């Protein structure tokens, strides 16, 4: 297996990781990423297979689990109840409860409100250059997930602050300051939700938190900790990736001058899938091997961790013709941007709906929208999104 060297904090790599992915795929399905000390999957075939192979999972095998540092205890407690980090049977129970509350009907019912929200936000655009990421791409998903859960919209800035602090724990350049900020955010987020969930117990409404409180699986409800963690997960995951997906999409459409292709109802679905394939918001997931497994010429031992490079899989030329070309009219085929298998993103239908609504409304209202400055990606690997998107109407 080829060993490759690439710092995940190198600014050039963070701005454009795709040349490295191209190099990695030349050496086969798997390579050893020296800086992470991990085997990494770079081909579509390998990523697709490992996402679905039940001999791999998110939970650390028991004998390899180590207690985390004491200063991270509040953050680790929340993580320990997250269905994103769990495997069956606990994952099955949590996910089924969430899906009962997070129904396709509830999501579809949001469409008129999302359309109205997009138009309202556009009405507030200033005349000169402004940051579309803050004015539009961030607001659409965060306000929508607030409405779906039933938490006050005016809390959106605080939720964003807490969320950014917590998900910063996954980035490659994590520091003690980032850890301390994440712990403080976790404590404040948890305290807020404890009070708000109690309010909803006393005063049920037609919202997701009320439905999560009521949901049962075989007579068993979500525990207090599970309920708080699930709300945090849905609030964080419900907007973080979608903000990046919309922002990356607008940037790509403007730089390739293909924005007209999102205006037609016949082409919007294909354009959304191509945006997700071409420049996805999340580039790396990891899995642990649960037994000795030989795959793609490599023998994994129990406890071995493997990195699944979603961004690399989506540019595999054995699956897509000219994968480095953005082509919104290409035939829709499955990309890896929302993961796969048991951990396929619960919020994928909502993210796709938000993109299908937000992009056409934006370019219908502002057909002459153009970049006012060179877009820059945030200095963090794993998540791949812009730090700002300066435009002129």
- Distance between CA atoms of residues 279 and 249, nearest Å: 8
- What mean pLDDT is predicted for residues 107-132? 95
Residue 249's alpha-carbon distances to 148, 263, 275, 336, in angstroms, are 24, 14, 5, 16
Mean pLDDT of all residues belonging to the chain? 93
Q: What is the pTM of this model?
A: 0.94
- What is the structure's pLDDT at 251? 98
Give 23: exposed, middle or buried? Use CB within 10 Å, 0-12, 13-18, 19+. Answer: middle
- What is the structure's pLDDT at 296? 97
Return the percentage of the chain with pLDDT > 90, whole number. 80
- What is the structure's pLDDT at 236? 87
- Kindly indicate the confidence band of residue 238, based on its pLDDT and cuts at 50, 70 and 90: confident
Compute CA 140 distance to the chain's CA centroid, rounded to the nearest angstrom: 15
- What is the structure's pLDDT at 98? 85
pLDDT, tens only, 152-161: 999 999 999 9
- What mean pLDDT is predicted for residues 121-131? 96
Residue in the structure block whose two tokens are 């936000």: 121
pLDDT, tens only, 72-82: 999 999 999 99
The neighbouring-strand residues paired with 30 are 41
Backbone angles phi, psi at 2, to 5 degrees: -75, 135
- What mean pLDDT is predicted for residues 107-130? 95
- What is the structure's pLDDT at 106? 80
- What is the structure's pLDDT at 230? 92
pLDDT, tens only, 375-386: 999 988 888 999
- What is the structure's pLDDT at 214? 87
> Hey, what domains does the chain have and what are their CATH numbers?
3-392 (1.10.630.10)
- What is the structure's pLDDT at 126? 95
Backbone angles phi, psi at 240, to 5 degrees: -55, -55
Give 117: exposed, middle or buried? Use CB within 10 Å, 0-12, 13-18, 19+. Answer: buried
- Distance between CA atoms of residues 236 and 142, nearest Å: 9
Euclidean distance between the first and the last CA atom of the chain, given in angstroms as a whole number: 50
Strand, coil or helix: what is 234?
Answer: helix
pLDDT, tens only, 160-193: 999 999 999 988 888 999 999 999 999 999 999 9
Compute CA 145 distance to the chain's CA centroid, rounded to the nearest angstrom: 14
Closest CA to 307 of 52, 47, 62: 47
pLDDT at 217 over 80: no
Stretch among 56-65, 129-138, 330-339 having the lowest mean pLDDT: 330-339
| Number of residues that this document lists for the chain | 393
pLDDT, tens only, 251-306: 999 999 999 888 888 899 999 999 999 999 999 999 999 999 999 999 999 999 99
- What is the structure's pLDDT at 266? 87
**Quick one: residue 196, left, alpha or beta (phi over 0 = left, psi -120 to 50 = alpha)?**
alpha
Contacts of 33 (CB under 8 A, 6+ apart): 4, 6, 39, 40, 307
- What is the structure's pLDDT at 376? 93
Torsion of CA 117, 135, 122, 15, to 10 degrees: -110
pLDDT at 19 over 80: yes
Closest CA to 252 of 334, 324, 320: 324
DSSP H or E segment with residue 194 = helix 176-202
Contacts of 195 (CB under 8 A, 6+ apart): none
Closest CA to 76 of 187, 150, 154: 187
């Amino acid at each position: 297996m080829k060993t490759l060297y690439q710092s995940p904090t190198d600014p050039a790599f963070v701005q454009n990781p795709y040349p490295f992915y191209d190099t990695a795929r030349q050496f086969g399905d798997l390579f050893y990423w020296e800086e992470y000390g991990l085997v990494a999957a770079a081909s579509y075939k390998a990523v697709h297979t490992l996402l679905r192979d039940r001999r791999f999972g998110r939970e650390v095998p028991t004998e390899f689990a180590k207690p985390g540092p004491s200063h991270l205890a509040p953050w680790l407690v929340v993580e320990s109840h997250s269905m994103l980090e769990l495997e069956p049977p606990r994952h099955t129970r949590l996910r089924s409860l969430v899906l009962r509350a997070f129904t396709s009907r509830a999501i579809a019912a949001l469409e008129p409100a999302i359309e109205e929200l997009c138009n309202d936000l556009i009405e507030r655009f200033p005349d000169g250059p402004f940051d579309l990421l803050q004015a539009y791409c961030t607001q659409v998903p965060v306000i929508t997930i607030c409405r779906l859960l039933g938490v006050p919209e005016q809390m959106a800035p605080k939720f964003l602050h807490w969320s950014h602090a917590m998900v910063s724990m996954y980035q490659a350049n994590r520091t003690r300051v980032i850890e301390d900020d994440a712990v403080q955010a976790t404590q404040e987020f948890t305290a807020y939700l404890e009070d708000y969930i109690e309010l909803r117990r006393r005063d049920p409404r037609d919202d997701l938190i009320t439905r999560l409180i009521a949901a049962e699986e075989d007579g068993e409800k979500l525990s207090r900790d599970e309920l708080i963690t699930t709300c945090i997960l849905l609030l964080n995951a419900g907007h973080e990736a979608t903000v990046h997906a919309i922002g990356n999409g607008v940037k790509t459409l403007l730089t390739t001058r293909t924005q007209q292709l999102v205006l037609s109802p016949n082409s919007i679905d294909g354009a959304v899938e191509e945006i997700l394939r071409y420049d996805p918001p999340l580039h790396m997931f990891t899995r642990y091997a649960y037994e000795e497994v030989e795959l793609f010429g490599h023998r994994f031992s129990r406890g071995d961790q493997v990195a699944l490079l979603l961004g690399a899989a989506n540019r595999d030329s054995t699956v897509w013709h000219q994968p480095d070309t953005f082509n919104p009219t290409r035939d829709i085929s499955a990309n890896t941007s929302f993961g796969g298998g048991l951990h396929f993103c619960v919020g994928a239908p909502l993210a796709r709906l938000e993109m299908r609504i937000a992009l056409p409304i934006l370019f219908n209202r502002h057909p002459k929208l153009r970049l006012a400055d060179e877009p820059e990606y945030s200095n963090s690997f794993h998540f791949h999104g812009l730090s700002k998107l300066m435009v002129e109407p």
